[in-house]
Structure 1
């Protein structure tokens, strides 16, 4: 084979590898929105049919946006290329002129995962009042209005000052306690939401061992553990998680569910999911104790 033939061969291989790469695209369904308005963010992925991808769920931090709902669609595969898409409905409560959002998509390999991010999409803040007229128009009114009585500004200033001093003292005395109560209640709410969803998915997985359900159960558990411990559970393999938590039973539980995800084998997952839930419950209790001890030492 001549030099030209070798060159064409390498060029063809290069184009083939590019065609098989993972392509992620994200965009808002509108370019601007008012405060609190419901806006859709479309996340699309094109990837080889043999690749396993996982979209982010409600445990992902969408700040400064607030996630309202996630809507998924059936995958479409043609000529070895799969197309997946989902719509995330969010609201913006930030006062910045623009907010930006880029979402990750996780490629699941046998022992680890690869993260791809979509392009950064912009959502502009839409003001309700577009413009102020140059000349104000007043309505004529010849009805006499009663005069207000003289206001005692000195008394009002004293009362206001006294209230400010009392509020300031209250804040100094109880600010740490109020902050700790807020943090504890927030963790309790997050735990209730996680536990309810995890039990529901675990029950469905026990009844119908399916790849997508097993994938969602593990992703939900890792997302909660990552949020409460600040450790990269989404990036770690099952063995790395087991070593970090010094618990070999976690590896066995995750391994049993991995058999459904990667090997396509049906397995009794109820015992594994129950153990993972207890691990999460233990970390949740440790978080509450840490908040309580933190308040006591300050």
Structure 2
């Protein structure tokens, strides 16, 4: 994790729109990011853990790019139900790189709890009441233990019955996240390669594609040659697409890469859908 004060190219900041708020009051948290337009940044969504604050709504704004520098911002509307005098919040921003991602955190912003009573009177006035109040009965630990055991037993049975489904849902969501990250990186690199075909970008495009297919199929795509990949997929067009990009890497030749990258993207998309079907079929067969 990288703090914004240490980042040289990416600058992020976050702050509450007010210093204090009442219990449960709606308050905004502003998140801003400033970075080179060639970078790809993602802001957290509603799945992020904002505790002890409760997420209500996120409002995003259109990115603004001037002289190669992009500025993004969003407002997160939150509520505080903590009785602590102050709560602190630092939000992350994710930068997508070639094979992994970097995480930047804002400095912690403080939100103070605003109490409804400004002051307590020096002399307390009590209301007289001569009505007898019922005494509280001792806690029934035996009943509590029986209920707790029954709840644990029911949860255990439910988990046993639905564990395969839960695992399948987890795998499916994990693949969807990987696909979104791959698609964002691929479109950015493909566009850059089409604009400026060079060895470094071509190698990065091929490495991204092979690495993603290897994660889907567990096959050694990064070790295979273009002809071996074509044989494994039984698709001669794949060889042509890879070959056109290989010529940039090994021969330093320039050429149009839009058709090749588009075809390789469709191969990755088809393999991704086959992976989802495989997960669905595994769950159905159990």
Measure how far apart 1:153 and its partner are: 1.1
Aligned ranges for residues 25-36 of structure 1 at < 5 Å? Answer: none
Measure how far apart 1:265 and its partner are: 0.8
Q: Distance in 1 between matches of 2:261 and 2:228?
A: 18
Q: Distance in 2 between matches of 1:214 and 1:227?
A: 20
Using the size of structure 2 for normalisation, the TM-score is 0.53
Q: Distance in 1 between matches of 2:96 and 2:144?
A: 52
Quick one: which of 250, 273, 285 aligns to 1:262?
A: 250
Asked if 1:241 is matched to 2:229, the reply is yes
**Matched residue, 1:165:** 153
**Matched residue, 2:202:** 214
**Matched residue, 1:77:** none
Quick one: which of 185, 197, 204 aligns to 2:185?
A: 197
Aligned ranges for residues 119-130 of structure 1 at < 5 Å? Answer: none
Structure 2 residue ranges without an equivalent (≥5): 7-93, 104-135
Measure how far apart 1:69 and its partner are: 6.5
Measure how far apart 1:149 and its partner are: 6.4
Q: Distance in 1 between matches of 2:97 and 2:274?
A: 34
Measure how far apart 1:211 and its partner are: 1.0
**Matched residue, 1:224:** 212
- Are the counterparts in 1 of residues 165 and 283 from structure 2 also a CA contact under 8 Å? yes
Q: C-alpha offsets along residues 82-106 of structure 1, whole Å, 9 cap, x if unaligned?
A: xxxxxx979xxxxxxxxxxxxxxxx
Measure how far apart 1:151 and its partner are: 2.5
**Matched residue, 1:292:** 280
Structure 1 residue ranges without an equivalent (≥5): 1-35, 41-67, 73-87, 91-147
- The 1:276–1:180 alpha-carbon spacing in structure 2 relative to 1, beyond 3 Å, is same
Using the size of structure 1 for normalisation, the TM-score is 0.51
**Matched residue, 2:173:** 185
Aligned ranges for residues 1-298 of structure 1 at < 5 Å? Answer: 150-298=138-286
Q: Distance in 2 between matches of 1:238 and 1:254?
A: 6
Q: Distance in 1 between matches of 2:158 and 2:200?
A: 52
Q: Distance in 2 between matches of 1:236 and 1:218?
A: 12
Measure how far apart 1:150 and its partner are: 3.1
Q: C-alpha offsets along residues 9-40 of structure 1, whole Å, 9 cap, x if unaligned?
A: xxxxxxxxxxxxxxxxxxxxxxxxxxx898x9
How many corresponding residue pairs?
166
